[in-house]
Amino acid sequence: MTAQDPNLIKNLAVAIGQTQSQAPSAFIGEDAPFNDAQRQWLNGLLSGLHAVANAADAGAEAEVGTALTVLYGSQSGNAEALSKDLRKFAKTQGFEAEVSALDDKTPADLAEANHVLILAATFGEGEPTDNAAKFYAALMDEAAMPLPETLNFSVCGLGDSSYAEFNKAARDIDRRLGELGATRASDPIFCDVDFDDDYAQWRDGAFASEAFQAAAGASAAPEPVTAAGPAFDKNHPFMSSLMVSERLSGADSAKCVNHIELSLAGGGLDLDYAVGDALGVWPMNCNHEVAAILAATGFTGKEAVELKAGPASLKSALMSRLDLTTVTPKTLEAWGLESVADDAQIIDLLKGESLEGLSPQSLVDGLRPLQPRLYSISSSPKAHPGEVHLTVGEVRYNLHDSDRKGVASTYLGERLAEGGMVGVYVQKSAHFHIPDDDNVPLIMIGPGTGIAPFRAFLEEREARGAEGKNWLFFGDQHEACDYLYRDQIEAWCESEVLNKASLAWSRDTSEKVYVQTLLKKDGKEIYDWLEEGAAIYICGDASRMASDVDKALREVIQEHGGKSAEEADAYMDMLSSSHRYQRDVY
């Protein structure tokens, strides 16, 4: 068999893993890149696999395993994705898992549970994630009710060791559950950004614990694993080709924002996404940064080093496997350093510290693995089949009299050539999607590159012919050079796909105007839309914009709804619990 598409064999393997959910006649269509004989053989193979899967399903007993509660607090989607893996794994161990966000439960709810596993990410400077904040506050409250010792729990934290408050939210949850009387079934694990191995160790340890083993022994027989995992994921990315990389912001803008278009075609088995999802991108490091590290250390790059994935040359490891920026406790330990400046980066240490005895191996031992970057998808698959679009602001800054730049943003914007290949995967969002009901009004607040998912939302609503009203709040510094997707937004206003566009330009007038300024200005109409059932979405900067917008919304509800501060908070809680207030912030 020959194949012109580089992903053909890989994508065929994906199809084999998906046979259980498809009808045999739909496996290999006539438009697939196979001749008649190949198609006939493949359809026979997949049909047989389908029959085996269906037979297994038909023969399954209706027994239910031991009840397990899996709770997650997730901001970027990693903890949420792991919770789904945990549910599948639990079934193989004789457990039937209920999975939900931490905020969908209260600490009191846990009193009725016997087995609870928690995956908790830490966001920002030691804070719980948006969908764990209420649970966290209630758990930490001095008035929290005691929990029974029959509640067996274990906690896995996801964090970033470059932050001072590494895994604080998860550590607090683990400590507090123990203080309230619950029983720790297995030791917690607090993962760094390369969490896969530590997560697997924690998962296996929890189910091997005495409390879980005893419960599993009294339950239905474990269910064998028969279904394939996700076709493409963080560890098995889809190789996409760059179609378009063009600057969106004007030449006079202080920011360089690029519109990126990537191909998702893969031999008839494409990578699927929904509006509201994020795209994970695996970047390559910059040649100049690799050269600077080699020059600072005196190494040639040809030296052999050992990585977790296997042997590699030093230059290859530096180009595509390792984070060349972030200093972590692992760095200090591997290089024999006691402390460094808070803002120091790897190159600063290599140039400024006396690192006696540094070898190629100890160099890479002090560097953490390179991680993918997540970007909000800015296209609708209905409007752009076989493609995915991103809106990427290039990260550039000066530190210690040296120009620095973001790895992934400049990789996509300047180093990846048209037609070049890049590994990508879809990070699914549980709730940051437009409603199934096309009549629900939408209020979308996304200044700067925060407009990305709302371009996708509006494309989707236009393609669906949705009749619900749409209101966009967008802004940046200058209208003349920072009005991203201006032509498209104005066309939507003209066609009434977009009913209102409120635009805030913070540097065009003597008084700075931000999106939260306009929210309060149009407060009565905002409240009227909410009373009509509107859903609110926020995307963009978490450090200031998102909190300022949240504050403005509470003030609007209080003023125009005639509510007290406490009643306005309860109203916002109602919006959150009904998934009518969603945030994609970073």
Terminal alpha carbon distance of the chain? 46
Q: Is 288 exposed, middle or buried (0-12, 13-18, 19+ CB in 10 A)?
A: exposed
Q: Confirm if 315 and 302 have CB atoms less than 8 A apart.
A: yes
CA 538 and chain centroid, separation: 15
Say what the pTM is.
Answer: 0.81
The CATH number of the domain covering residues in 238-283+372-427: 2.40.30.10
Distance CA 14, CA 487 (A): 39
Q: Confirm if 238 and 6 have CB atoms less than 8 A apart.
A: no
H-run or E-run covering 527:
helix 523-531
Please report, for residues 92, 399, 446, 536, 585, the alpha-carbon distance to residue 527 in angstroms, rounded to integers and kept in the order given: 48, 44, 19, 11, 23
Identity (one letter) of the amino acid at 580?
R
SS (H, E, C) 89-141: HHHHCCEEEEEEEHHHCCHHHHHHCCEEEEEEEEECCCEECCCCHHHHHHHHC
Place of tokens 């920011």: 255
Distance CA 561, CA 553 (A): 11
Question: Would strands 535-540 and 442-445 be described as parallel, antiparallel, or unpaired?
Answer: parallel
Place of tokens 């990305």: 452
Q: Confirm if 551 and 565 have CB atoms less than 8 A apart.
A: no
> Of 269, 196, 257, which Cα lies nearest the Cα of 6?
269
pLDDT, position 146: 94
H-run or E-run covering 301:
none
66-215 matches 442-585 in fold: yes
pLDDT, position 358: 94
DSSP annotation string for 197-221: HHHHHHHHHHHHSHHHHHHHHTSSP
* Residue 108, φ and ψ in degrees, nearest 5: -65, -30
Residue 258 has a CB neighbour count (10 Å cut-off) of: 21
pLDDT, position 60: 41
pLDDT, position 355: 87
Q: Which residues of the chain have a pLDDT value below 50?
A: 1-6, 8, 10-11, 13-26, 36-37, 41, 45, 47-62, 227
H-run or E-run covering 70:
strand 66-73
Assign domain 66-215 to its CATH architecture. Answer: 3-Layer(aba) Sandwich (3.40)
Q: What residues does 470 pair with on adjacent strands?
A: 442
Greatest alpha-carbon pair distance for the chain in Å reads 73
* Residue 568, φ and ψ in degrees, nearest 5: -65, -40
Is residue 323 left, alpha or beta, with left meaning phi > 0 and alpha meaning psi from -120 to 50? beta
- Each domain of the chain, given as residue ranges in start order, spans 66-215, 238-283+372-427, 287-366, 442-585
pLDDT digits (tens, 9 = 90+) for 14-66: 444 444 444 444 455 555 555 544 555 455 545 444 444 444 444 444 455 68
Distance CA 438, CA 436 (A): 6
Q: In what order do the strands lie in the sheet with 278-282?
A: 373-376, 278-282, 421-427, 238-247, 257-263, 387-393
Q: Confirm if 326 and 368 have CB atoms less than 8 A apart.
A: yes
pLDDT, position 353: 78
pLDDT, position 61: 42
Distance CA 380, CA 171 (A): 39
E-strand ranges in 394-458 read 396-399, 402-405, 421-427, 442-445
SS3 381: coil
Q: Is 530 exposed, middle or buried (0-12, 13-18, 19+ CB in 10 A)?
A: buried
DSSP 412: I
Assign domain 442-585 to its CATH architecture. Answer: 3-Layer(aba) Sandwich (3.40)
Distance CA 48, CA 75 (A): 41
Distance CA 167, CA 151 (A): 23
SS3 374: strand
